[in-house]
Amino acid sequence: MNKFVVVDIETTGNSLKKGDRIIQFAAVIIENGAIVDTYTTYINPEIMISPFITELTGIDNTTVADAPLFHEVADSIANLLEDACFVAHNVHFDLNFLQDELELAGLPKLACPIIDTVEMSRILMPTLDSYKLNDIAIVAGFDHDRPHQADSDAFVTAEWFLSLYDKALQLPTELLNQLYKLSKLLKTNVAELFSYLIRNKANQQQIPETLQFFRGLMLKKVQIAPITHSEPVAFPSDRKEKMELLQKGYSAQYEERTEQGDMIQFVYDSLREGDITLVEAEPGFGKTISYLLPAAIFSINKEQPVIIATHTILQQHQIIENELPRLNKMLNKKINVQVIKGKSHYLNLWKFERILRQENEHYDEIITKMQILVWLTETETGDVDELNLSSGGIHFWYRVSSTSVENETEINPWGKMEFYQRAMYRAANANLIITNHHFLLADVTGNIRFLPSYDYVIIDEAHHFEKNATKFYGNQISYRKMKYLLGQLGTVEQQKLLGKIYRLLIDKNIHMQTNATTLNKHIESFTNMCEEFFQLCLSFSKKRQKNAYGKVSTSISFLDNSRLTYAWERLYDAFTILYEDFENYYEKLSNMYSLLSEAEKIILEDFLLLLLDFQTMERFHQDVFYQQDVIIWMETDDRSPLPSLVLYSQPLFVGEQLAETLYSEKKSIIFTSATLTVKNSFAYIMEQLGLNHFPVHYNQYKAPFSYTNQVNLYAMEDLPNISEVDEQEFIATISSYITSIAEAVEGRMLILFTSHEMLKHTYYLVKESGLLEDYVLLAQGISGGSSQRLRKQFGRFDKAILFGSYTFWEGMDIGKDALSAIIMIRLPFTSPKEPVHHGKVQLLKEQGKSAFYEFSLPEAVIRFKQGFGRLIRSKEDTGNFIIFDKRIYTSKYGTTFLQSIPKTPLQLMTIDALCNKLEANRVGTNSKDPED
C-alpha cells in the first residue's frame, strides 16, 4: 500500500439514481509519502445546476458549459485509480457516486481498497472538536480558501491524510498491532494501512521515553510527584501591593482596576472570618483572579483547601489555562490546583483493559476502543471531555468509566494509576480544588464524600447555582432511555444482557424463582406499560407552546389526572416486579463474584450499571407521590415527539436543602457573579438561595469602563408591540430591521430571542431575503453543532449574525472585540406557561406574595444584565445595545432593568435614524487617526 489517490467530487445533489450528476472531479496522487501529482476537471452534468449548489460550491452553469461530459474523462479517471488506494473525506459518498457514474459510462466499477479520512481522524485524532474538513483545515493551518470546490477540498484532504499517516507512523508498534486487530472489523481498508506501517516499523521496537506499556496498554508517563507544602505567603498589606501583584501576573496586558484590590481584600477577609458572602463584579472587572489570588494565599497559609465551584466545564478550563499561570507568576510559586469532576468523567483502566479483550462487532464500540487506545498516549487526566465520541461511543464510555462499581473482594491491579485515583490523590494535597456546582452538591448531600475534608467554598457564576441545585435534586425519565435500556436487556433467548445473565445463573446452578417464560412475560409487560404510559403523556403535549429552547413543554399532574395516574401505577407495578427479579439475580451472582471468569465479571458489572439506571424509576415515583412542592413536567421535540419525550421532576425551592447540607456545614461560602443584584439589591438572590436566615455580607464592584462613551443604548420607537399586531407581522418587521441594522454596522451581531419559534422564523426570513449575502448567518438549534461551536464559528468571520436563545443570554462569552451590536428582541421574561416558572408563581401567590415583583421581574432583570454584559469586556471595546421591546420605556417596571445595569443613557430611535447613526459611528470610528 504505497500509492494513494485522494479524491473529491462536487455534484448537483446526493444521488445519481435521482438524476444528479458530477460537476467537478479532483484527485491528488500520493506515492512514497509525498504528493506527486494532481488532476482536476469540471464536468458538464447535462442538467441545470441549482442555485443552492452554486451558492455552496461557486460552480454555476456557465462554469461547466464547455467542460467535458463524464464519459469523455471516465477512462482517465479509471486509469488514475488503477492499483491505488482510494482516499476521501466521507469516502462512501464520493466512491459510490463515482462508481455509479463509471457504470453509466459503460466502465467496470472500481475494485480498490478504500480509506476514509473521517474514520482515520476519529481514530488517530480523538480529541478534535470537529471532523468537518473546513474545521480540520483551520486547526491544521492549511490554506483552504475555496471550501466545497473539489480541487481545494482534495488537496486539503491529501495534506491531512499525510498528517494522519505520519502520526500513525510515530505510534509504537505494540499500539499499531492493537489498532490493526480492531480495524479488521471496520468498513474500510485502514487495516491494510496499519499492517503496512507495522511492517515498515519492524526494526523500531523501542518505546518512546514519554510512554509506558503496562498490562497491555500504552500510556503517557505521568509523574505523580509527592506534593510539597508551600511556605507561608504574606498577604499584600495595601492596595498598592495588590496592584503590583496583579501587574506582575498580567505584565503589559494588565489594565489597572483599582477596585480589584478591594475585592481581593474582601474575599480574603471573608475566608478568614468564616463569612457567607455575596460578591457581584461587573463583566470585565477581573473577577476570577480577584478571588483566586486571596483563595490561594489563604489556603497556603491556613493549610486548608479552598473549593472553587464553577457553572461550566469551559470556565474550569479557562481558569487552568488562563488564570493559573498568572497566579503562579504573581506568587512566584506553583500553586497546587486540581480539577475534580464526577466519576463518570474518568476512564477506568481496569474495566477498559478487560473489555478491550472482549470481541465485539458493533462499529461504534470498535472505533471508540481505538480512539481510547490512541488517546491514552496523550492524556494526563483520563477525562472524557477531552474526547470527541459518537453517541454510540458515549454509551460504551459509560461501561468503562469510573462510574463502574468495582467488587470490594477484587483488587484493582491498576491501583493509584487509575485516573480517578490520581485526581483524588492530587486533590487531597491541593490548595485549590476546582469542580462544578453539580459535583459540589453531590459531595455535600451524598452518603459518600468524594472530596477531601474542606470548610471553605467559592461558588462562581452563582446566579446559576439555585437552578443547578433544583436540577440536582430533581429526577427525569425518558422514552429514549427506557427503550435503550430495554434494548440492552433483551429477552432470555437473545444474546443480550438478560440472556447472558440467565445463562450464567444456569451455568452456576443457581436456583431461580422466576422461569424463563415468566421472566419474558415480565419484560413484555414492562415494555407495553412503558409504551402505553409515554403515548398517554404525548397526548398531553399536543398543541402546547414551545419554550425558549424549541421544546414543547407541558406541566402535568398525576394527582389531578386519573388516566395518567392509572397508567403510571401500572408501569410502576410492572417495574417493581421486574426489578425484584433483577435484584435477586444480581445478589446471587455477586455472592460468588470471585469464582466468575473475567468475561462473566464484565457481564455482571454491566448488569449492575443497568440496575442503577433503572433506579431512576423509583426516585421519580417518590417525587410524584411523596414529595411536597415538586413540579412535574414533560418536554418533547415536535420533529420526533415520542423518542424525544422526557419527564422531569424538580423541587420548586431548594433553600432548605442548601441550608441543611451546605450553609450550616461549611465555615465560609462566597457566592460570586457578574449578575447578582436587581437595582443594586441582593434581596432576590438571597431569597432564591435560601440565605435570608443567615448572616450574610455582600459587596458590589464596578468595572472601570465609561459606559456613556463605550456603549450606545437604543430602543425602537417605531416598532409595534408584539401584543398589538399579528406575530407574523411582528416577525416580518423585526427581520427587516435586523437586515437594515446589519447593513449599517457591517460587523458581528448577536440577536437575543426569548422564543425559539420566533428565532427560527426570523432567521429564515432574513436568510431567504438574500439581502445579507456577505454575512454568515448562524442560528442556535438550526445551524447545527453545540453553542460553543457556534460561538467559535461566529468569531471566525468579520461579518456574521448569530441568532441565539437563552444559552447566549446566560453566560456564553462571545469573546473580546467580537461584537458590533447586540439586539434584544424582547425583555427576557420567562413564559408564564413554562412549567417550573408557573409552579413557583403559583406557590408564591398561595403564600400571599407578589410573584411578579418578587420573582418574575428580578429573574428577567438578572438575565437582561447577562445579555448586556456580553458587549463590553475592556476599555477599548465599544458597541451598540439595541432593544426592540417598547416596554423598556413604556412600562412602569422598565426602569428596573435600566437601573440594574451600569448607567447608560437610553436613546429612542426610529429605524432610519438608528441606521444613519450606526453608519455614521462606524465611518467615524474607521476614519479616526490611529494616534487619537
Look at 301-315, 456-470, 538-552 and tell me which has the smallest mean pLDDT. Answer: 538-552
pLDDT of residue 556: 85
Of 157, 173, 189, the domain-final residue? 173
Spatial distance between the Cα atoms of 84 and 114, rounded to a whole number of angstroms: 9
Highest mean pLDDT (candidates 193-202, 275-284, 402-411): 275-284
pLDDT of residue 406: 57
pLDDT of residue 429: 87
In 525-664, the DSSP E strands lie at 552-555, 630-636, 646-651
| Residue 357 forms part of a structural domain | no
**Three-class SS of 440-495:** HHHHHHCCCCCCCCCCEEEECCHHHHHHHHHHHHCEEEEHHHHHHHHHHHCCCCCC
Cα 337 off chain centre by: 24
Q: What are the pLDDT digits (tens) for 823-855?
A: 999 999 998 888 889 999 999 999 999 999 999
Give yes or no: residues 683 and 741 share one domain: no
Kindly tell me if the per-residue pLDDT of 248 is higher than 50.
Answer: yes
Spatial distance between the Cα atoms of 226 and 649, rounded to a whole number of angstroms: 45
Kindly tell me if the per-residue pLDDT of 1 is higher than 60.
Answer: yes
| Residue 354 forms part of a structural domain | no
Give yes or no: residues 679 and 537 share one domain: no
pLDDT of residue 408: 58
Kindly tell me if the per-residue pLDDT of 446 is higher than 80.
Answer: no
* Alpha-carbon separation of residue 733 from 183, 769, 911 (angstroms): 56, 13, 11
Spatial distance between the Cα atoms of 640 and 637, rounded to a whole number of angstroms: 6
Q: Which residues are annotated as a binding site for ATP?
A: 281-288
Q: What are the pLDDT digits (tens) for 5-38?
A: 999 999 998 888 888 899 999 999 999 889 999 9
Of 141, 173, 205, the domain-final residue? 173
Give yes or no: residues 245 and 105 share one domain: no
**Per-residue DSSP letter, 50:** P
Spatial distance between the Cα atoms of 807 and 548, rounded to a whole number of angstroms: 9
Q: How many domains does the chain have?
A: 4
Query: Per-residue confidence at 141, pLDDT binned at 50, 70, 90?
Result: confident
| Beta bridge pairs of residue 800 | 748, 776
Q: Residue 731 maps to which CATH number?
A: 3.40.50.300
Please give the share of the chain, as a percent, with pLDDT higher than 70. Answer: 94
| Average pLDDT value for residue range 250-274 | 87
- 830 phi/psi in degrees, rounded to 5: -75, 140
Pairing type for strands 306-310 and 432-436 reads parallel
Give yes or no: residues 505 and 601 share one domain: yes
Give yes or no: residues 676 and 570 share one domain: no
Give yes or no: residues 621 and 687 share one domain: no
Give yes or no: residues 324 and 285 share one domain: yes
Give yes or no: residues 245 and 150 share one domain: no
Q: Residue 164 maps to which CATH number?
A: 3.30.420.10
Please give the share of the chain, as a percent, with pLDDT higher than 90. Answer: 62
Look at 39-53, 225-239, 318-332 and tell me which has the smallest mean pLDDT. Answer: 225-239
pLDDT of residue 667: 95
| Residue 439 forms part of a structural domain | no
| Average pLDDT value for residue range 457-478 | 95
pLDDT of residue 640: 84
| Average pLDDT value for residue range 345-360 | 90
Kindly tell me if the per-residue pLDDT of 858 is higher than 80.
Answer: yes
| Residue 449 forms part of a structural domain | no
pLDDT of residue 931: 37
Q: Which residue has the higher pLDDT, 638 or 266?
A: 266
Spatial distance between the Cα atoms of 170 and 125, rounded to a whole number of angstroms: 13
Nearest Cα to Cα of residue 783 among 132, 4, 37, 90: 132
Q: Which residues are annotated as a binding site?
A: 281-288
Give yes or no: residues 741 and 681 share one domain: no
Question: Mean pLDDT of all residues in the chain?
Answer: 89
Spatial distance between the Cα atoms of 276 and 685, rounded to a whole number of angstroms: 13
**Beta-carbon neighbour count of residue 663 at 10 Å?**
19
Q: What are the pLDDT digits (tens) for 74-115?
A: 999 999 998 999 999 999 999 999 999 999 999 998 889 999
Is-contact 637 860, C-beta < 8 A? no
Spatial distance between the Cα atoms of 691 and 711, rounded to a whole number of angstroms: 35
Of 155, 173, 191, the domain-final residue? 173
| Residue 816 forms part of a structural domain | yes
Q: What are the pLDDT digits (tens) for 639-685?
A: 788 899 999 999 999 999 999 999 999 999 999 999 999 999 999 99
| Residue 209 forms part of a structural domain | no
pLDDT of residue 34: 92
281's enclosing H/E stretch is strand 276-281
Q: C-alpha grid cell for residue 112?
A: 480498490
State the Cα angle at 139 between 138 and 143, rounded to 5°.
Answer: 40
Cα 629 off chain centre by: 31
Give yes or no: residues 841 and 739 share one domain: yes
| Average pLDDT value for residue range 560-584 | 92
* Alpha-carbon separation of residue 23 from 9, 26, 42, 235 (angstroms): 8, 10, 6, 70
pLDDT of residue 810: 61
pLDDT of residue 550: 59
pLDDT of residue 307: 97
* Alpha-carbon separation of residue 882 from 24, 858, 914 (angstroms): 45, 21, 9
Nearest Cα to Cα of residue 502 among 360, 607, 573: 607
pLDDT of residue 167: 94
pLDDT of residue 744: 94
Give yes or no: residues 671 and 713 share one domain: no
Dump the DSSP string for 382-396.
-BGGG----HHHHHH
Kindly tell me if the per-residue pLDDT of 747 is higher than 60.
Answer: yes
pLDDT of residue 159: 94
Q: What are the pLDDT digits (tens) for 620-629?
A: 999 988 888 8
The parent domain of residue 565 ranges over 479-651
Give yes or no: residues 505 and 609 share one domain: yes
Q: What are the pLDDT digits (tens) for 402-431?
A: 875 555 567 889 988 999 999 988 898 899
| Residue 14 forms part of a structural domain | yes
Query: Per-residue confidence at 932, pLDDT binned at 50, 70, 90?
Result: very low
Q: What is the pTM of this model?
A: 0.87
Spatial distance between the Cα atoms of 686 and 693, rounded to a whole number of angstroms: 9
Spatial distance between the Cα atoms of 775 and 331, rounded to a whole number of angstroms: 46
| Residue 366 forms part of a structural domain | no
Grid cell 470548610 in the structure block, residue: 455
